[in-house]
Structure 1
Amino acid sequence: MFSKKTSEATPTKGATTLISKSTEIQGDLVFSGNLMIEGKVNGNIIASDGPAHVQLLDSGEVTGEIRVPTIIINGRVRGDVYSSEHIELAERAVVDGNVHYSLIEMIKGAQVNGNLVFAKAQQAKSNGKSSEKAADLKSNSVTPIKA
């Protein structure tokens, strides 16, 4: 159920909520702490103030946006993903949407059917800095993973 890399992730302090394989949620989820998804969520997933961590397991599916600081995806997301701290796309991850990140790890086999958007590159453009500087930041932001 967990890959080696996924099990090394450090969850945030606080309660952990599990959406089991046989559960389907209709509507938006706002949470703090840890959220593990094995089932289906048809709605947006949003972290409230404070540290938050979401893990989408290989059987999990989300149809909607995910806006959480730390994200691990090993299931399917149909919507945009926004991570302000760290995102890991594990080997069975499929994202049908754009991935907005500041630090990203992609394991061999992960799929993104959309754009990878470096968050600090967007901020540089909005601050009036040149697009060349933003492109340099974007090209240096991917952390290589050895298999």
Structure 2
Amino acid sequence: MFGIKRQLPIRTLVGEGTVIHGELRFVDGLRIDGEVLGDVTAAGGERSVLVISEKAKVTGKVRAGHVIINGAVIGPVTSEELLELQPKARIEGDVTYVALEMHQGATIEGELHALKTGDSPTLKLASNNS
């Protein structure tokens, strides 16, 4: 779906109970289970995956290719490929995306902006049954 070929490996983990102050840059894949107070940016652009788990919190800008959120983000989110908002996702900030999949229960307090890619942006509202 949405033209994603294969999942990139998660090479880095910010574990539960860990708090990072400052900018966090990564390549390939990153999973956050703890807290980041600063920007989280993928160096690989579209060829990256970022997972912000249910217990995680990021206060700062978030930018990656494929972004999956089930925790809290306070700041703007930019997904250069696909943004997946799981049921417990909470975003306080503007969201920019190419394709967006939003599950029931996810909330956004901000504006939605579609990135221009030549094709029209894709929006999918996912049900609890999928």
Greater percentage in helix: 1
- Give RMSD over aligned pairs: 1.7
Count of residues in Structure 1 that have an aligned counterpart in Structure 2: 121
In the alignment, the residues of structure 2 paired with residue 144 and residue 112 of structure 1 have an alpha-carbon distance, to the nearest angstrom, of 14
State the partner residue of 1:99: 95
Residues 118-143 of structure 1, C-alpha deviation per residue, up to 9 Å, x if partnerless? 111xx78xxxxxxxxxxxx46xx312
Question: Match for 2:38 among 43, 48, 51?
Answer: 43
In the alignment, the residues of structure 2 paired with residue 36 and residue 108 of structure 1 have an alpha-carbon distance, to the nearest angstrom, of 22
Question: Match for 2:25 among 4, 21, 30?
Answer: 30
Query: Where do residues 50-129 of structure 1 align in structure 2 (5 Å cutoff)?
Result: 51-120=47-116
Which of the pair has more CA radius of gyration?
1
In the alignment, the residues of structure 2 paired with residue 88 and residue 142 of structure 1 have an alpha-carbon distance, to the nearest angstrom, of 10
Runs of 4+ in 1 over 3 A off after TM superposition: none
After TM superposition, give the deviation of residue 145 of structure 1 in Å: 2.2
After TM superposition, give the deviation of residue 146 of structure 1 in Å: 3.5
Structure 2, unpaired ranges of 5+: 1-5
| Percent of residue pairs bearing the same amino acid type | 33
Structure 1, unpaired ranges of 5+: 1-9, 125-136
- What's the TM-score once normalised by structure 2's chain length? 0.86
- Secondary structure of the 1:82 match is strand
- What's the TM-score once normalised by structure 1's chain length? 0.77
